[in-house]
Amino acid sequence: MMHESSQIPVFKIYEETLEWSTPDLLHWEPLEDRCQLHHFKIRPHRHNDLVQIFYLQKGEIDAHLDGKRHALKAPCLLVVAAMCVHDFRVTSDVNGHVLSLTSPLTEKLGRELEFLNQQLKNTAIYPVAEDHHKVEMLFEAIMEEYQTLQMGREQSLESLLKTLMIWIGRLGVTRAELESHLDRSNRHLTAFSQLVEMHYKTHQPIDNYARELNITAKHLNAICQQLTQKSSLHIIHQRLLLEAKRNLIYTAMTISEISYGLGFSEPAYFTRFFKRLAGIPPKEFRLRQRALLSKENG
């Protein structure tokens, strides 16, 4: 794990010292085991190259996902994307399953089931009240197969996981949306999002992104407006703002350190940028968030 006072902890499995605790590309464990081990409170952390799927079968979870609070009640599914900062307060009667998927596995799933790309890359909560029996059967089958060493175990686990992911995809995507994920505009948007993730700290002009996609800046902006109702510049700025909020909430870095780390030439520029998008200066945002966390932890 990485653990410095100025950084958000990055773990493989939460607070595991080993790089990866299993030879599999998939890790399963009972939700209650991990929660009991940490006295039903999971501190803020993130995973660099893991997607996690939580099935809350019983109990409640008070979750912070990238700074936003969510009250999860059973039965529901929670997909936590890579690099999403998350922490949980869990009721003592919690019961369920946790799947951790490595990046080679999620990349393979994304290639084979293209319409799942957004489900694998976005943190989301899925209530499953009507279909909880189907979900429980799938997780029980994954648990049983994971704990065996029989022939074809890897293939069987992957098949069960695909079935689960298809089911999650159906929850999150309507038929019209499913078709749109395959069209040219959506592929451009996906590629643009990947480029933003790589370069948002360098403050590149929109023309550079458009050139990488082999389209014009005007066309890129039209795609963003059509599919997200946001401009291409707004998407870049929101990604910068998200990382700024993460650092303000979860690290001890100074405003200046955060500013330079996010590619701003002067802290004053960063402060004006943050206030314009968030409505309050970064220092005030940090104080408010710490007061909220202190109140919740008290």
Q: What residue numbers bound the domain in which 251 lies?
A: 184-297
* CATH number of the CATH domain containing 171: 2.60.120.280
Contacts of 103 (CB under 8 A, 6+ apart): 49, 50, 82
Cα–Cα distances (Å) from 21 to 25, 158, 185, in that order, read 10, 18, 40
212 and 167 assigned to the same domain:
no
CB 6 within 8 A of CB 252: yes
pLDDT tens, residue by residue, 70-82? 999 999 999 999 8
Give the closest residue to 165 by CA, choosing from 226, 118, 218.
118
**Both tokens assigned to 94:** 């919690």
pLDDT tens, residue by residue, 201-235? 999 999 999 999 999 999 999 999 988 889 999 99
Contacts of 94 (CB under 8 A, 6+ apart): 31, 32, 35, 40, 56, 58, 59, 60, 61
**Both tokens assigned to 21:** 């605790």
Q: What percent of the chain has pLDDT over 90?
A: 52
Position 80 in a domain = yes
The phi-psi region of residue 59 (left if phi > 0; otherwise alpha if psi is between -120 and 50; otherwise beta) is: left
Query: What's the whole-number mean pLDDT along residues 183-198?
Result: 89
140 and 260 assigned to the same domain:
no
- CA dist 71 and 62 (Å) reads 5
* CATH number of the CATH domain containing 196: 1.10.10.60
CB 48 within 8 A of CB 55: no
Last residue of a domain, one of 147, 178, 209: 178
Quickly count: other Cβ atoms within 10 Å of residue 121's Cβ.
Answer: 18
160 and 282 assigned to the same domain:
no
Which residues, listed in sequence order, are joined to residue 30 by a DSSP beta bridge? 97
Q: Strands, DSSP E only, in 173-296? A: none
Last residue of a domain, one of 119, 150, 178: 178
212 and 114 assigned to the same domain:
no
Residue 32, phi then psi, degrees to nearest 5: -65, -30
53 and 100 assigned to the same domain:
yes
39 and 158 assigned to the same domain:
yes
Rg of the chain over all Cα atoms, to the nearest angstrom: 20
Q: Rounded to two decimals, what is the model's pTM?
A: 0.59
Query: What's the whole-number mean pLDDT along residues 248-277?
Result: 95
- CA dist 211 and 198 (Å) reads 15
Per-residue pLDDT at 287: 92
135 and 211 assigned to the same domain:
no
- CA dist 273 and 238 (Å) reads 11
Per-residue pLDDT at 236: 96
Number of domains in the chain: 2
Position 10 in a domain = no
197 and 171 assigned to the same domain:
no
